[in-house]
Amino acid sequence: QVQLVESGGGVVQPGTSLRLSCAGSGFTFSHYDMQWLRHSPGKGLEWVAVILHDGSREYYIDSVKGRFTISRDNSENALFLQMNSLRVEDTAVYYCAKDGGYSSPDLWGQGTLVTVSS
Amino acid sequence: DVVMTQSPFSLPVTLGQPASISCRSSQSLVYIDGNTYLSWFQQRPGQSPRRLIYKLSNRDSGVPDRFSGSGSGTDFTLKISRVEAEDLGVYYCVQGVQWPYTFGQGTKLEIK
């Protein structure tokens, strides 16, 4: 079954860290660029980070540069998002997604909720 | 960043009738390879987004042919020829021509 399953969300205080994981199955994980997106009531849907299929390059939106790190382990079909120095405005449902060509994800996970609150 | 502007914000529809959603980008979405990097996504209540259309007008596998995408340059349209109950939800246009890729604010398709 082709799917992505995220884990690692939760409620944390501002300034702390969280690591999200995403397990891919049913497709050749190492062949695809992967990405993290998020959905919040205030900002809607937005990309967070992208990593190329071989891990050779990463892209981040400005608001998370220097705080978040995307990584992958192709031997384990796994994608990660290390989130440091979390802010209230990082509160969102975070989705792992597989690139489906033309910079457009064709497979999404179910999402994991991250709540940053004091 | 490329700004994606959708209209309307909310679209009341009658089942069986057509529906149309517009999207405008702040710059051309034609990439150097000649393709238009515009996609459409559907998000049903309680579900993750699902891609319907990529590269302007190509339907994803399993997407009913009542959905069609069209447009050029900076103006785009998603059309549903006959709305069915399962089509209710929020629709987003997305550009992939320039990082950061960006979404429109969404159009909520609801029953009239």
Asked whether the predicted pLDDT for residue B84 surpasses 90, the reply is: yes
A118 at B interface, C-beta within 8 A: no
DSSP secondary structure letters along B52-111:
EEETTTEEPTT--TTEEEEEETTEEEEEESS--GGG-EEEEEEE-SSSSPEE---EEEEE
* Backbone φ and ψ of A30, nearest 5°: -70, -10
DSSP helix/strand/coil, A3? strand
A68 neighbors A84 (Cβ within 8 angstroms): yes
Supply the pLDDT for residue A76: 98
- Residue B53 confidence (pLDDT) above 90: yes
Share of chain B above pLDDT 90, in %: 97
Give B83 to chain A, closest Cα distance, Å.
Answer: 23
With an 8 Å Cβ cutoff, are A104 and B51 in contact?
Answer: yes
Search chain B and give the residue with CA nearest A35. Answer: B101
A63: phi then psi, degrees, rounded to nearest 5: -70, -15
Residues B82 and B64: beta-carbon distance below 8 Å: no
- Interface touch B54/A50, C-beta < 8 Å: no
Whole-angstrom distance, CA of residue A111 vs CA of residue A95: 4
Q: Touching check for A104 and chain B: CB below 8 Å?
A: yes
Task: Give yes or no for A101 touching B (CB within 8 A).
Answer: yes
Query: Is A108 part of the contact surface with chain B (CB cutoff 8 Å)?
Result: yes
Chain B residue with the nearest C-alpha to that of A45: B103
CA distance B17 to chain A (A): 28
Mean pLDDT computed over every residue of chain A: 97
- Region B37-62 average pLDDT: 97
- Residue A66 reports pLDDT greater than 90: yes
pLDDT tens per residue, range A67-90: 999 999 999 999 999 999 999 999
- Assess whether pLDDT exceeds 90 at residue A102: no
Q: Stretch B28-50: mean pLDDT, rounded?
A: 96
What's the whole-number average pLDDT of chain B?
Answer: 96
Q: Is the pLDDT of residue B112 over 90?
A: no
Instruction: Indicate whether B111 pLDDT > 90.
Output: no
Q: What confidence category does residue A103 fall into, taking pLDDT thresholds of 50, 70 and 90?
A: confident
Backbone angles phi, psi at B81, to 5 degrees: -70, -40
Spatial neighbors of B10 by CB under 8 A, at least 6 apart, are: B107, B108, B110
Reported as a single tens digit per residue, the pLDDT across A23-43 is 999 999 999 999 999 999 889
Q: Tens digit of pLDDT for each residue in A51-60?
A: 999 999 999 9
